[in-house]
Amino acid sequence: MPSPVMPPPPAPTVGNGAAPINVLEPAPQVGHTQPPSVDGPRSPLLAKLTGVTSIATVAAAGIVVVGILAVVGGNYDKQVVHDQLVPQKIVFPAANSPALLPGIKQFAGQKLVNGEQAKAYANNFINVHLSKIAGGETYAQVSTAALAAPKNVKLAEEKATLFQGETLRGLLLNAWGWSLVGTLVTLAGWILILLGVILFALPLANWQVNLRGRRQATAAV
């Protein structure tokens, strides 16, 4: 007796009666590994400092240029002071001279050619001698007394001596002041150059530490 043949169950229909299509999931490939994810920068602080590389580079170049101009200007200022002092032909007393005062011993026998020497000569030589004239009175005080006694020869001589001495002292101190300005400007210029070089080197350091390492890791995959 033949066995009954059971018909296969009807395929479920979706929507308009069409049978759904079974989509097979792809089998995982053996031996293939996913590329490693690129980590963040090795130095986050360095990456943050050089986040705007173009602006940092332009700023660094500008700072270096300003620093160079400052150095040139400072040296020019000191050269002008030197050129103004040399024609005066002021020479410090020799080492064995009784006129050599304690405040100028370090410049014994030298020609006065720079701001440091000008300050020492003005304060430790001229001013010492001026303090011994007219009992330590200034030119203004002696001039007032000389005007009140126009026939007093001694007051007239003291007035002339104090005027010449204080004028020369003022000129020397003025030269020292400009020399000091030149020195400070030159120092500021070198500091600016150093800062500019550091700022310019930051993007290079960021590329070396962060970007180059990341490219090498990507190329090695």
- The mean per-residue pLDDT over the stretch 96-102 comes to 91
Ramachandran angles phi, psi of 111, nearest 5°? -80, 145
Average the pLDDT over 187-216 and give the result: 74
Confidence of residue 35 (pLDDT cuts 50, 70, 90): very low
For residue 118, pLDDT beyond 50: yes
**Of 89, 121, 97, 96, the residue nearest 107 (C-alpha):** 121
What is the average per-residue pLDDT within 151-175?
94
In angstroms, the CA 198 to CA 195 distance is 5
What is the per-residue pLDDT across 38-73, written as a single tens digit (0 to 9) for each? 455 555 555 555 554 567 778 888 999 999 999 999
Q: What is the reported pLDDT for 36?
A: 46
Look at 200 and 21; give whichever has higher pLDDT.
200
Cα(172)–Cα(63) distance, rounded to whole angstroms?
34
Nearest to 170 by CA among 111, 123, 117: 123
For residue 163, pLDDT beyond 90: yes
The fraction of the chain above a pLDDT of 70, given in percent, is 67
Whole-structure pTM value: 0.67
Looking at residue 18, its pLDDT comes to 52
Name the residue with tokens 């204080």. 166
Kindly report the average pLDDT of the chain as a whole number.
80
pLDDT exceeding 90 applies to what percent of the chain?
Answer: 57
